[in-house]
Amino acid sequence: MKRKFLYCGIALFSLTLMAFMKPVPKITLYLIGDSTLSVKEKKAYPETGWGMPFAVFFDAQVRIDNRAQNGRSTKSFLAENRWQPVADSLKEGDYVLIQFGHNDEAKEKTDRYTAVPDFKNNLLKFVKESRSKGAKPILITPVSRRKFDQNGNALETHKEYTQAVIDVAMQEQVPLIDLDQKSRALYQKFGVEQSKLLFNQLEAGVHPNYPEGKMDNTHFNELGAREIAQIVLQEIKKLEPGLAAYVVKSSAVK
């Protein structure tokens, strides 16, 4: 009888322990790129990278590791040894979302500027080294800046670098999210004035982080970041149904 109670006690303890144990993530989803998707410090709020709301879309089986950094191009990301730790950590079944271009095209900043041929080579490096570890790269064209012509048409702002990403994706048969095109369609839907609501635009005296105000057509606020993250999620559902299986089942995440 004592032995029976002992076994019952052990079983009950085991069940209780398991209830408090979190499942070990099966997949790590790495994000590499620039300020448009990076995690922001509190002093930058309400500026929000789209990788921040994106991180809550998946269940506990997926770990989001956002390595994107403000002001980085493919050139500086590699030069600062930010890629190698990611490459070393990759395992079979992981994913790498790759979105650069904003800073690669900045000719006035020599530490960032990357000519298109070099930009392509750097993307190829990310792709090939990801695949060599059994991870799956996904290329993302640079998210568009907010810019309209006099007739209210959303304009391309990354033409050469967007095409370079598309070229590499086609050459290497890599899943592609054309966030440049998708984000412009979003701005067009909102229109010239209402699209400002997606960006970190503030009048003077409205927010303590920006006492003199801010008129930013590149970086998002919370709403804009969420809208862009939703676009990325929708594209992933189409491209990688296996990964989409881990999306949190909620009416808020469609």
At residue 153, does pLDDT exceed 70? yes
What average pLDDT does this structure show over 190-201? 97
What average pLDDT does this structure show over 119-129? 98
Question: Active-site residue among 92, 108, 212, 250?
Answer: 212
Q: Is 219 a catalytic residue?
A: yes
**Cα-based distances in Å from 35 to 24, 103, 177, 220:** 29, 9, 18, 10
The per-residue pLDDT for range 31-84, each reduced to its tens digit, is 999 999 999 999 999 999 999 999 999 999 999 999 999 999 999 999 999 999
At residue 186, does pLDDT exceed 50? yes
pLDDT value of residue 249: 75
What average pLDDT does this structure show over 160-183? 98
At residue 218, does pLDDT exceed 60? yes
* Average pLDDT score, the chain: 91
pLDDT value of residue 7: 46
Q: Is 35 a catalytic residue?
A: yes
Nearest partner of 44 among 169, 238, 219, judged by Cα: 219
At residue 130, does pLDDT exceed 60? yes
Question: Active-site residue among 38, 105, 183, 219?
Answer: 219
What average pLDDT does this structure show over 137-166? 97
Label residue 212 left, alpha or beta by phi (over 0 means left) and psi (-120 to 50 means alpha).
alpha
Question: Active-site residue among 35, 76, 130, 144?
Answer: 35
Give the Cα separation of 95 and 31 in Å (integer): 9
Q: Range with the lowest mean pLDDT among 14-23, 60-69, 166-175, 234-243?
A: 14-23
Q: Is 207 a catalytic residue?
A: no
At residue 208, does pLDDT exceed 70? yes
Give the Cα separation of 45 and 220 in Å (integer): 10
At residue 182, does pLDDT exceed 70? yes
